[in-house]
Amino acid sequence: MDTVIIKARRVAESSSTVPLAVTAISADELKSRGVISVADIGNVAPGVVMGRDGFGVNINIRGVTTTDTTSKGLPGVSFNVDDVAISRPVAQGLSFFDIDHVEVLRGPQGTLYGKSTTGGAVNVITAKPQFDDAASAQVELGNYNTRRLEGMLNKQFSEHVAVRVALNSNDRDGYLEPAGGGAARNDQKDRALRLSGLLKFTPTTSLLLSTTAASVSGIGFSTVPGIGEAGNKSGKEQLRVFANPFGGKIDEDYHRYNGEFSTELAGVAVTYVGSFSKFKSNDRGSSTYDPATNGNQYAWRLYRGNVKEDSHELRFAHADAQGLSWVAGLNYSDEKVRESDHYLNAPVATPTIAASVNGIDPVNTTEHKSSGVFGQGTYALNSQWSMVLGARRSKDTTDRVGTFAAGPLPSCTNALADCIGDTNNGYQSASVNTYRAGLNYQIAPEQLLFAAVATGYKPGGFNDFDPIARSTAPYEPEKLTAYEIGYKGRLASNLQFNSDLYYYNYAKDQISSLANIAGNFVIFTRSVPATIYGWENELSYRPTSADILRASVTFAHSEYKSFMAGLMQNVDWSGKSLDKTPSTVATLSWNHSWPLANGGRVKTQIGTRYSTSYLNSDFVGAVQYRQKAFSRTDISATYLTADGKYTLQAFVNNLEDKVQITAVGGNNDYSVSAPRFFGIRLGAQF
C-alpha cells in the first residue's frame, strides 16, 4: 500500500499514521482520478463540497464555508500553497499545476495554521527541484474545444544546485449558452509558469526559491437564471442563459515569489517561509438573467482590483528519541486589496456604455493583518499512549479606507470613471486564543486510536451600517470547537481503514447577506450558533498487485440553533440545515493494471460518487433550495509503453452529464457544476 509523506502538522509524517482527519492525494492519483483544478478536489475527498461564484471557488468542508466573498471577508477554510495561505479565491487556482500532492485537513486547524481554518485547510504542495535531469509534457484535447498543455524541465547543475521549470496552459470554451447566440460563459483561458531553484549547502541546510507568473483571460464566470425552476430543467436547459450585449471579459495577472530556508541548529530544525504576491484584475461581467426582471435593464459590472500580500513564518521543530516531539513558531501576514467595483445598468432600448448608470460603486483599500505565536507538542507517556497539547495566540485586524456611492449621483456622468460617494471607512481588531488537546493510543504498530478537542476561528470584521452606532461597527471573530475520535489502521498489509467521528459546537457562524438594517440595505454579517456532527469512513484495499479499491462513506447532520433569515431578518430558521451538508455521501473507485504482450500496460480507473440531497440558501428571500440526490462517475483508460516514457489516456468526467446547484444568487439565479467533459491526454517523460 502506498503512503504519502505529508506536513499537515508542520513536520514530515506518514498520512496513514498522523492523528488527524486528513486525506492525502499523490500526484499519480490526482492524474488518474482527473483532478486538474481546485474545484475537482471535492470529487475525491470526503466531507468536501465545492461551490463557485464570481469571486472564484468556494470551499466547504463538513458544512463550514464562508458567505462573505467580498474584499473585507475572509475564507472559513484555509487554502495554502507551499505553506503560504492564499486568501483570495480568484488567485488560488493559478498555482494548481506540477503538483507533488494535496492534503485536505478536515476539522479546525487554528493552532498550527491560525486564521481562516474554522473548517480545516487544503494544502497544495508543488513539485520541488530534484537532483536529477528529467522532463515531461502532457497534451489534452477534448470537448468544448479543450486544449491543455503542461510541461516540466528539471536540471541538476551540480551536487548543490537544481532548477525546475514548469508551465501550464488551459483553453476551453464555455458551457453556459446564451439564448439567441453570443459567447458561451464559464470558459477557461489561463497561462502559468513556475521557476524554482534549490540550493543545498549541506545535508541539513538548503534554500528553495520559486516564482510563479500567471494570466487569465476569456469571457468569464456566470450563473443560470430561474432557481425556482432548476429542478425541472434537464439537458441543454440546465445550461441556458440570457444574452447580454455587454458580454464578459477577464483580464487578470498574478505574480508570486516564495522563499524557504531550512537548517538545523543543535538538533533543532529551523524553517523560514516567506512569500510576496500581487494580483491585478480589470474584469467586465454582465448578468445572464432576464432583463425584464431588472426594470427592463441590462445589468453589468466593471471590477478593477489590485491585491498585494506578503507572508512570513518562522518555525522550530524537534524530535526527541526519548518521546517528545514539538513544533513552535511565529507568523505575520499583510494583505492589501485596492478596488473599484462598479455595478451598472443600461436600458434595453439603448444598451451602451454612454447610456449606463452607476448603481453601486465602492472605491476603497482594505487591509488584513494577522500575527501569531504558536506551539504544539506530542509526548509519549509510554510505548502505547501519547498526548498532544498545542496553543496559539493570534491578533487580526481589518481596516478599510474608502467611499461608497449608491447612485445614480449627479456627479457620476461617466459610467467608466470612479463614482466617489460618502466616506465608508471601517476597522476591527481582535486577539484570539486557539488550542488543541489530544490523546493517542497505539493499538498496534500500524493501528492508531486518537481523540482530540480543537478550536478554529475566522477573523472578525465590520458591518457597513450598524443600527446602534448608526455607522460602521465591528463584529467578533467566528469560533468553532470540535470534538473528534478517530481510528487509522493497517488491518493487513494490503488493507487500510480510517474512521472519524466528530461533533462541532459552532458557537459563532458568520452569515453575511443583504439585509434591511434600520431602513438601510447593506451586506450585514451576524454570528449565529449552529451544530454539526458526523461520521467519516475511508477504506483502501489492494487485493492483487494489479488492483486497488478505494471506498468512503460519510454521514453528516447540521442545524442552526438560532437564526432569523430574510431581508427583514424575520423568518425563523432555527433547526434548519446548513448549506451543502448532505446526510450521506458514498464513493467507490477501482483501478486495474492490465499487462500487455509488448511489455506495456493498460491502466483502467472507474470512480463514482453518490450524494443524497442538500440545501443551498437564499438568505435574502429566506428560501432554501434543495439539490436532489445525484451521482457522478469518472472513467479513464491509460496505455503506458513498456519503458514507461509515453502514455495515452482516454477519459470521461461526469458520465451522467448532470449538473448540480453549487450556490444561489440574489436575482433568482444560481451557479452550477461542470457538465460532462471527455477527451484524450498524451504524455511523455524523459
What pLDDT is recorded for position 397? Answer: 97
Quick one: pLDDT at residue 466? 79
Q: In which band, very low, low, confident or very high, does the pLDDT at 321 lie, cut at 50, 70 and 90?
A: low
Could you tell me the pLDDT band of residue 129, with boundaries at 50, 70 and 90?
very high
Single-letter code of the amino acid located at 19: P
pLDDT digits (tens, 9 = 90+) for 170-225: 999 999 999 878 899 999 999 999 999 999 999 999 999 999 999 999 999 999 99
Region 498-502: mean pLDDT is 97
pTM: 0.93
pLDDT at 166 over 90: yes
Q: What is the pLDDT of residue 39?
A: 85
With beta carbons less than 8 A apart as the criterion, state whether 392 and 371 touch: no
Q: Is the predicted pLDDT of residue 560 greater than 80, yes or no?
A: yes
66, amino acid identity: T
pLDDT value of residue 298: 94
**What grid cell was written down for 210?**
520559486
Between 406 and 261, whose confidence is greater?
Answer: 261
Reading the block at residue 229, the C-alpha cell is 425552476
Query: What gap in Å lies between CA 660 and CA 51, rounded to an integer?
Result: 10
Query: CA of 469: how far to CAs of 83, 147, 424, 465, in Å?
Result: 40, 54, 14, 8
d(CA 224, CA 218): 19
Residue 3 or residue 314, greater confidence: 314
The DSSP annotation for 455-520 comes to: EEEE--EEEEEETTTTEEEEEPPEEEEEEEEEEEEEEETTEEEEEEEEEEEEEEEEEEEEEEETTE
Q: Quick check: 224 and 176 in contact, CB under 8 A?
A: yes
470 pLDDT above the threshold of 80: no
pLDDT of 55 over the 80 cut: no
Closest to 218 (Cα-Cα) out of 169, 180, 167, 291: 169
DSSP notation for 145-177: TEEEEEEEEEEE-SSSEEEEEEEEEEEE--SBE
CATH number for 477: 2.40.170.20
pLDDT at residue 411 greater than cutoff 90: no
Per-residue model confidence as pLDDT tens digits over 60-109? 999 999 988 888 889 999 999 999 999 888 788 888 999 999 999 999 99
Separation CA 157–CA 197 (nearest Å): 10
Mean pLDDT of 594-612: 96
From the centroid of its chain, how far is CA 206? 30
DSSP label at residue 29: H
Rg of the chain (C-alpha set): 25
Largest CA distance in the chain: 79
- Output the average pLDDT for the chain: 93
Q: Is 345 in contact with 298 (CB distance < 8 Å)?
A: yes
What residue has cell string 452550477? 672
Domain that holds residue 58: 5-685
Quick check: 488 and 451 in contact, CB under 8 A?
A: no
pLDDT band for position 502 (cuts 50, 70, 90): very high
| Cell numbers describing residue 472 | 460602521
Give the mean pLDDT of 302-330: 92
The C-alpha cell that represents 164 in the structure block: 525546475
Q: Is the pLDDT of residue 319 over 90?
A: no
Cis ω on the peptide bond leading into residue 46 (within 30° of 0)?
no
Q: Which residue has the higher pLDDT, 16 or 134?
A: 134
Give dist(CA 530, CA 559) in Å, integer: 6
Which pLDDT band, with edges at 50, 70 and 90, does 320 fall under?
confident
User: Quick one: average pLDDT of 430-443?
Assistant: 97
Euclidean distance between CA atoms 588 and 550, whole angstroms: 6
The tally of domains found in the chain comes to 1
